[in-house]
Structure formats: structure tokens, C-alpha cells
Amino acid sequence: MTSERIYEKLLPIIQTYLPEDVSKEAVNRESDLTRELNINSAHLVDIVLDVEDQFDIEFANEDMEQLRTLNDAIGIIMRKVGER
């Protein structure tokens, strides 16, 4: 699975949890999930759960520590999918 295909599947998941004061157009691969997109920790957990379901993978604690941007998420997903 390419990083572009992962991004296409990841984008709607992220956009679902954006607060009202952040537009969907503000989301890009370099967006910091908590600082720039204002996604709170509860929603970050929801995003991880949705990503796990979407890609049939499981995030470990160390994956969560590395998760800051969409590019980070894409890298984690690519690694996990490649491990299967």
C-alpha cells in the first residue's frame, strides 16, 4: 500500500474528529494533530482505534509516542502493514 493510498484513507478519519474551529482544508501531511489541528487526547484515541480498524493493525504504546503528524501516522501504518 502506497503512502498516498494510506493518506486517502486516513484523511476522512482525521477530518471526522476536527474541532469546529479547524477547517478540513487545514489538514495536510505535515499537520500536527494536537497543536495545529487542536485534536484533544480523547479524540486522538478514537482516531487510533479507527485507524486500527481501517488498516487491520494494532498501535503499541511506542507508536502512540511517535504519533504527532499525519506523516508519522502514515509511516507507522506502512510499517505495520508491511509486518503482516
pLDDT at residue 79 in the model: 95
Residue 38 has pLDDT above 90, yes or no: yes
pLDDT at residue 73 in the model: 97
Q: What is the mean pLDDT of residues 44-66?
A: 96
CB burial class (10 A; 0-12, 13-18, 19+) of residue 76? buried
State the total domains in the chain. 1
Distance CA 66, CA 8 (A): 21
Distance CA 24, CA 39 (A): 12
pTM of the model as a whole:
0.91
Residue 84 has pLDDT above 80, yes or no: no
What is the CATH number for 74? 1.10.1200.10
Domain that holds residue 43: 3-83
Residue 1 has pLDDT above 90, yes or no: no
Q: What is the mean pLDDT of residues 24-35?
A: 95
